[in-house]
Amino acid sequence: MRRATILALATFVTGFTFLDPVAEKNREGNALFREGKFDVALEKYREAQLEAPEAAQPHFNAGDALFRQEAYEEAAKEFGRVVEGQSGDLNADAQYNLGNTLFRSQRLQEAVEAYKQALMHRPDDLDAKINLERAQLLLDQQKLSQEVLWKYLFVIWGLLYSLLEIAVADLGVIQERLCNFWSDYFCFCVRIARRI
């Protein structure tokens, strides 16, 4: 009886995870992740995904491992899968991580939207607020830089056009001077030929 009680208590405390191969693979992946073995951890998360493709946690963890490996496009896909099927804290975390991934990929407008979504789920998230401000600032600077660049390009185009007009006008003068030179040279040659 005592053994059955301990077994029942252990089962309740561990939440049946020792019977769950997805949770076990996820736990193994997390241990490897903490050791910095992101590629091996990713393999464990992929195995967990094969066992339960609809489970969000293995996708979230795979996204983290891919992010650490700087595989941002793949990480964004994994976080996107979590966002599609979850709500609550995991969704907020996935939105935040998606924002970070998009930020690293220089997809600033999408990063801003992801941070906004994270803040909708967790309005008091200071990191998401800071990252949103940072992404928005860089996006605004990028837009301003593009506007300034276009203005400079128009100014340069105007200068080049003016120089081209001057060059064409000068070309006419040069052509006239060359014609006069060759004409004078021809006349000079004819005079010398007559003297001979």
Whether 91 and 57 have beta carbons less than 8 Å apart is answered as no
Would you kindly state where each structural domain of the chain is located, as residue ranges?
2-152
Residues 6+ apart with CB under 8 A from 51: 21, 22, 25
Whether 57 and 26 have beta carbons less than 8 Å apart is answered as yes
Residue in the structure block whose two tokens are 């009886």? 1
DSSP assignment string, 9-71: HHHHHHTTGGG-HHHHHHHHHHHHHHTT-HHHHHHHHHHHHHH-TT-HHHHHHHHHHHHHTT-
Please give the Cα distance from 125 to 91 (Å, whole number): 13
Of 91, 102, 101, 74, the C-alpha closest to 125 is 91
Q: What would the pLDDT profile of 122-156 be if each residue is shown by its tens digit? A: 999 999 999 999 999 999 888 887 777 677 767 77
Instruction: Supply the pLDDT for residue 196.
Output: 63
The encoded tokens of residue 121 equal 């789920």
- The CATH label, of 1.25.40.10, 2.60.40.1890, 3.40.50.150, 1.20.140.10, for the domain at 2-152 is 1.25.40.10
Please give the Cα distance from 185 to 24 (Å, whole number): 98
Q: What would the pLDDT profile of 165-180 be if each residue is shown by its tens digit? A: 776 666 666 667 767 7
Q: What would the pLDDT profile of 62-119 be if each residue is shown by its tens digit? A: 999 999 999 999 999 999 999 887 667 888 999 999 999 999 999 999 999 999 999 9
